Amino acid sequence: MIMKQKSVALVGDQAVAHAVRQSNVDLIAAYPITPQTIIVETLNEFLSNGELSARYINVESEHSALSAVIGGSLAGGRTFTATASQGLGLMQEVLYVASGLRCPIIMAVTTRAMSAPINIHADHSDVMGSRDAGWMQIFCENVQEAYDLTLMAFRLAERDDVLLPIMVNLDGFLISHTMEDLKILEDSVVSEYLPPRVASLKLDPERPMTFGSFALPDYYTEFKRQQVEGIENALRAAPEEWKRFEALSGRKYTVTRPHFMDGAEIALVSMGTSAGTARYAASKMREDGLKVGALSVRLFRPFPSEEVKKALVNVNVIVVMDRTVSFGAYGGPLFNEITPLLYGTNDSPTIANFIYGLGGRDVTWRMMVDATEIALKKKKTGEKIPKAQFLGVRE
Amino acid sequence: MSFTSLKNLPLKESLAPGHRLCDGCGIPHVVRYALKAVDDHSVVIVNATGCLEVCTTPYPYTSWRVPYVHTLFGNTGAVASGIVETIEKLSSEKRSQYFDVIVFAGDGGTFDIGLQALSGALERGHDFLYICYDNEAYMNTGNQRSSATPMYSRTTTSYAGKAIPGKLERKKDIIGIVVAHGIKYAATASISHWRDYMTKVRKGVEVKGPAFIHVLQPCQTGWRYDPALTIKMAKMAVDANVFPLIEVEKGKYKITYRPPKKILVADYLKPQRRFAHLFLPENDHLIRQIQQYVDQNWERLNKLEKFSETG
């Protein structure tokens, strides 16, 4: 049954804070960093007003923020923290411990460029630098999605067949500080959807266990192998959980979001807020008679290879938009995920990779049209997989 | 609870005898006495990366009969903070059984890489006991200098050569640092003085809020003495006033043990080959300098104690 919902206007950070407030969270570790700060500020306001039952620790660094929620998670609690950019960088070694110890921590990351030069605006260099840390990664396109995907993340992370932490990525300022109207569920409905956590393994004097032991070459590989199983189970688990949420909210979520992809000959593939721009660019190009579609990749870790392949297998020209640089690599991270999937299919399509929007640089639908034109030229010249190039750069 | 004789101590061993610590290692004493002191409490151990962790948890084995967590080298203060806050909430909601949290971390994990996380946790006032086992260098990686390494000690990164006679800097005053946070209980202890140590552990666990105990833990492989002498080395450090036994309750300093027969610093340094170079004739003045610093520190502690008594 679709539940009654309230329409409110919030910025993305506030929407995330509301989702956390409603989610029966036990422990929040907070450290300020732009553009995430509004999340921990809003949560603290809830706490001071008696609207939040979680314990709240003002830690002295992001390294400690993630360490504290690992402790809380192993004690059996539901935990949340948030960060961006340098904060995520400082957490680097802790990220691997959170996933290795199978802690279902939820962390909102308001994506932001990595220093130097210092910059506070959106790009994906922070989250892409942590893509192999064993965390799930989900990209939001707008404020409503930031709210919904945060709520849903707790259930997905805590499933015994998954049991892994999740980064909910919302583009800095473009979502975190942008006010939009959204629908939020009643507190009681969320509480029923997400009752207090019951951890199957935890620190318990009645049942002593050793967490974080020392595994040498004779066992380390098996630990990693099991992590792979957990994260790959999420490919099945995420759609199940999202369907359950759809039944409550009426909002449908899928691991990828295809737009005009049926019969498309050209595809614009992107993640996060640019996906809306790509859809608009596709519709504009459709007006000019080009068969363009757009594909938004919502779940980046685990990567939904089957769905992406299915969506792109009959497309001739693929434009892959990466909001980060993989220095010294042939292309960006999204390009590197997609290209091998299409090897040897459909007489091999042209796959053109564009680096865009670094440090918050605006990307317009016209730039996406330019990128498509460049890709079509490559197709004509027979260049199947050109090296990644910058979009909208001063040379 | 008072600890009258070794024979009357609880028999329960929360750290099983099967572990991989060196012969003559002082760490098991640090852990066993502490856990015997709070035998009637449910405890969870948080451990920093180091000798204790490596030698007690080689998968698929564990030496721990109580719940145990190790995550990283420099974050135990933060991990303990998260566990304490969560278990307080979960136990009050009848979702989990309450337990006390005891941290064990070496000097590297406390004086150096873990100092920030420790400071944050002490400032916020979470209820846990932090025990630093101090073997005065990064012993797990093979004896590299830490800020707890004593002056003129030879380590592999403060080598005693013709130009430089070992570590040139003095040991960091960790008790001064933790006391400056205004915590209710801080103490030093030595594995040679088990009753003093266990009494302090008991106080540290029972005090509401963070408590800190700095335990000297002789390390035969790093200090390079006969492994049979571990307890003796710990006792000599106390008797030479190199490692005075004190406690600081609500800011008030108290010397908890006064060596009845004080020995010279040189007598303590002599059996340890990390100080062998100091016994070359040309380095005699260095030993005198250490003795002078030790005497000054003892005088300082006596003044602090007197000041604490008179207010």
A 186-215: CB under 8 A from B: 196, 198, 202-206, 208-215
Is B1 part of a structural domain of the chain?
A: no
Mean pLDDT (chain B, rounded): 97
pLDDT digits (tens, 9 = 90+) for B259-304: 999 999 999 999 999 999 999 999 999 999 999 999 999 999 999 9
B 207-266: CB under 8 A from A: none
Query: Which of B127, B253, B135, B112 has its CA nearest to residue B190?
Result: B135
pLDDT digits (tens, 9 = 90+) for B191-217: 999 999 999 999 999 999 999 999 999
Query: Could you tell me if A130 and A238 lie in one domain?
Result: yes
Query: Could you tell me if A204 and A260 lie in one domain?
Result: no
CB A350 within 8 A of CB A307: no
Residues of A in contact with B46 (CB under 8 A): 71
Cα–Cα distance for residue pair A80/A67, rounded to 1 Å: 12
Tell me, yes or no, if B40 comes closer than 8 A to chain A by beta carbon: no
Is B215 part of a structural domain of the chain?
A: yes
Mean pLDDT (chain A, rounded): 97
What are the strands, taking DSSP E only, across chain A? Answer: 5-11, 27-30, 55-58, 79-83, 106-111, 136-139, 166-171, 179-185, 210-211, 256-259, 266-270, 292-297, 299-301, 317-322, 350-355, 389-390
The four Cα atoms B104, B107, B113, B116 give a dihedral, to 10 degrees, of 70
Chain B: residue whose CA lies nearest to A197: B95
Is A266 part of a structural domain of the chain?
A: yes
Whether B71 sits inside 8 A of A75 (CB atoms) is no
Alpha-carbon distances of B190 from A69, A173, B25, B103, B234, rounded to whole Å = 33, 55, 13, 17, 6
Is B242 part of a structural domain of the chain?
A: yes
In this structure, which amino acid lies at residue B6?
A: L
pLDDT digits (tens, 9 = 90+) for B213-244: 999 999 999 999 999 999 999 999 999 999 99
* CATH, residue A126: 3.40.50.970
Q: Which domain holds residue A265?
A: 256-390
Tokens 């422990």 map to which residue?
A27
Query: Could you tell me if A277 and A214 lie in one domain?
Result: no
Helix (H) or strand (E) holding A103: none
Residues of A in contact with B84 (CB under 8 A): 71
Is A21 part of a structural domain of the chain?
A: yes
Q: How many domains does chain A have?
A: 2
Q: So what's the pLDDT on residue B3?
A: 86
Tell me, yes or no, if A61 comes closer than 8 A to chain B by beta carbon: yes
What are the strands, taking DSSP E only, across B88-127? Answer: 100-106
Q: In what order do the strands lie in the sheet with A389-390?
A: A256-259, A292-297, A266-270, A317-322, A350-355, A389-390
Is B206 part of a structural domain of the chain?
A: yes
Q: Which domain holds residue B167?
A: 6-310
Alpha-carbon distances of A316 from A40, A107, A261, A373, A374, rounded to whole Å = 45, 37, 12, 13, 14
Give the pLDDT mean for B105-110: 98
Is A395 part of a structural domain of the chain?
A: no
* CATH, residue B35: 3.40.50.970
* CATH, residue A286: 3.40.50.920
Q: How many domains does chain B have?
A: 1
Query: Could you tell me if A242 and A311 lie in one domain?
Result: no
Query: Could you tell me if A127 and A40 lie in one domain?
Result: yes
B 104-163: CB under 8 A from A: 116-117, 119-120, 123-124
Q: Is A261 helix (H, G, I), strand (E, B) or coil?
A: coil
List the single best residue of A52, A61, A214, A224 to mutate versus B (max B Cβ within 10 A): A214
